[in-house]
Amino acid sequence: MIRAEHIVKSFDGRRVIDDVSVAFETGKTNLIIGRSGSGKTVLLKTLVGLHTPDEGRVWYDQTDFTALTFRDRKAVRKDIGMIFQGGALLDSSSVEENVKLPLDLFTRQSEAEKLERVNFCLRRVKLENANHLYPAELSGGMIKRVAIARAIVLNPKYLFCDEPNSGLDPQTSIVIDNLIHEITHEYNITTIINTHDMNSVMEIGEKIVYIHEGRKWWEGTKDDILHADNPELNAFVFASAMAKRAKAAVR
Amino acid sequence: MLRLFAPIGRYFILMAKVFSRPEKAAIYRRRIIYEMEALGVDSIGLTAIISVFIGAVITLQMCINLESPFIPRSLVGYATRETMILEFSSTVVALILAGKVGSSIASEIGTMRITEQIDALEIMGVNSASYLILPKIVAAVLFFPFLTILSIVIGITGGWAISYLTGIMIPADYVDGLLMDFRPYSITYSLIKTAVFAYIIASVSAFFGYYAKGNSLEVGAASTRAVVVSSVVIMIFNLMLTQILLI
């Protein structure tokens, strides 16, 4: 479980995250949703330690992550996998080298063992025979799948995904969503996904937190979200023409 | 004043991070070899072309300007050798490499910053500054002295070739000049300067790339700043090292 307690984060005097407290559950796909600029990426980066909160604490199970030094955080970081919006693969490294990097840095496995693990993870994301391709040679969906393979190569306990579907077509988005969802259940990971894709919410959202203007506006499940009486949330959820039509049809 | 000193402070904080204990030596060895190829081997062609022409031009200029019966022709070879060793092959080549290698380092690391590749390394628990910058510094400091030696040899050969091909002077006189009053310390001085300049190019350029933010325009601006600042710092250190090592 990951818990955020009263997180406040400002940039240049502007409060981007304003007193957010929320718990993300183990073995579930937890979604942070909100409009662009609502502060959800800053919240995610604060949870993962890329930003230091001005106030508040972040707990990884029983460990107060915010109280740890850079060196002590290393132990927790080995349990963290993260999928960035653009994949963030190292351009100068092949698919295999990208996925193998955490193993090179943090394990004492032999080359054969590392290769076996890399191939297992690539098979898991359905990317066999892509070992020697470079990021520039991959499609958007393939980049995301390599990023997932790299994120899970060390068997993380916590998985963070920053808009994993951005730039992908709806069908590929569903493939990526389902992959993350399956991996979360398979390895009992605490997964936190940052998204504004309502398809993802309805497909895999087991716990949903709605962020608006830097504050937590609402939290619940995907079943609750359709019946919520929060006007800001409703405006977000039913923003698309398709959602409006679906709602009208249900009525 | 703060605008001047704040980046200097950040530079030293970054260098402290760069020189902290590396994660795994084997990974760094591989990266140093890769960087030697990217930063050093790929610069051999440019260094060779510039050096051969500069050596030839220095020889031509000396021949034209030292046209006097009281000045021995061998002085042309001597002047070419000293110019190449003392200034051109260390300082001028360093300025050229600041443009080629410096902009490449700044734009590579800057692009990694804006595409979140550096964040990805940090999330993995990797000291990104050390992982990305240290191999570049080590590769530059180890390899650039070879470029200097290469530049000296090719420049002097260029001078000999132009005297042979144009007949502007007798090549044997040129060779006599090359052997005149040679002090091996000049080579040591040149190599020390090159090592210092290599460190400046790699570290200053990496600094500007590492703290780049925003979009591709910002990466371009960071790359330009890296070249300008590296060049200015090289000139300042050239003056200081000459004062310290030669006087």
B159-169 pLDDT, tens digit per residue, is 999 999 998 89
DSSP B21: P
List the strands of the sheet with A215-220, edge to edge: A80-83, A158-162, A190-195, A29-33, A207-212, A215-220
Taking the CB of residue B241, how many other CB atoms lie within 10 A of it?
17
State whether A104 and B24 contact (CB < 8 Å).
yes
State whether B116 and A85 contact (CB < 8 Å).
yes
| Residue A128 φ/ψ, nearest 5 degrees | -70, 155
pLDDT at A250: 65
Instruction: Examine the pLDDT at A114 and tell me if it is beyond 90.
Output: yes
Q: Which residues of B touch A48 (CB under 8 A)?
A: 123
Tens-digit pLDDT profile for residues A123-170: 988 888 899 999 999 998 899 899 999 998 998 999 999 988 888 888
Whether the CB of B13 is below 8 Å from some CB of chain A: the reply is no
Whether the predicted interface score ipTM is above 0.85: no
Cβ-nearest to B123 among A82, A89, A106: A82
pLDDT band at A174; cut points 50, 70, 90: confident
**What mean pLDDT value characterizes chain A?**
88
Q: Is the separation of the CB atoms in A228 and A218 below 8 Å?
A: yes
Tens-digit pLDDT profile for residues A193-239: 998 888 888 888 899 999 999 999 888 888 888 777 878 878 887 77
Whether the CB of B61 is below 8 Å from some CB of chain A: the reply is no
* A244: its two tokens: 């409006």
The torsion of the CA quartet A126, A127, A128, A132, rounded to 10 degrees, works out to -170
pLDDT at A165: 84
Tens-digit pLDDT profile for residues A33-82: 988 888 999 999 999 998 999 999 999 998 999 998 877 888 888 889 99
Instruction: Examine the pLDDT at B218 and tell me if it is beyond 70.
Output: yes
Q: How far apart are CA B129 and CA B203, in angstroms?
A: 11
State whether A105 and B117 contact (CB < 8 Å).
no
- Which among B219, B206, B224 is positioned nearest to B111, based on CA atoms? B219
Whether the CB of B117 is below 8 Å from some CB of chain A: the reply is yes
* A234: its two tokens: 């409703």
Provide the b/e sequence for A194-210 (b: ≥16 CB within 10 Å): bbbbbebbeebbbbbbb
Task: Report the Cα B168 to chain-centroid distance in Å.
Answer: 32
Query: 3-class SS at A21?
Result: strand
- Which among A11, A79, A15, A93 is positioned nearest to A48, based on CA atoms? A79
Cβ-nearest to B119 among A50, A77, A81: A50
* A128: its two tokens: 């066999």
Q: Which residues of B touch A102 (CB under 8 A)?
A: 124
Whether the CB of B115 is below 8 Å from some CB of chain A: the reply is yes
Q: Which residues of A touch B122 (CB under 8 A)?
A: 50
- Which among A94, A96, A60 is positioned nearest to A80, based on CA atoms? A60
Provide the b/e sequence for B48-76 (b: ≥16 CB within 10 Å): bebbbebbbebbbebbeeeeeeeeebbbb
Our CA-based measurement puts residue A1 at a distance from the nearest CA of chain B, in whole angstroms, of 18
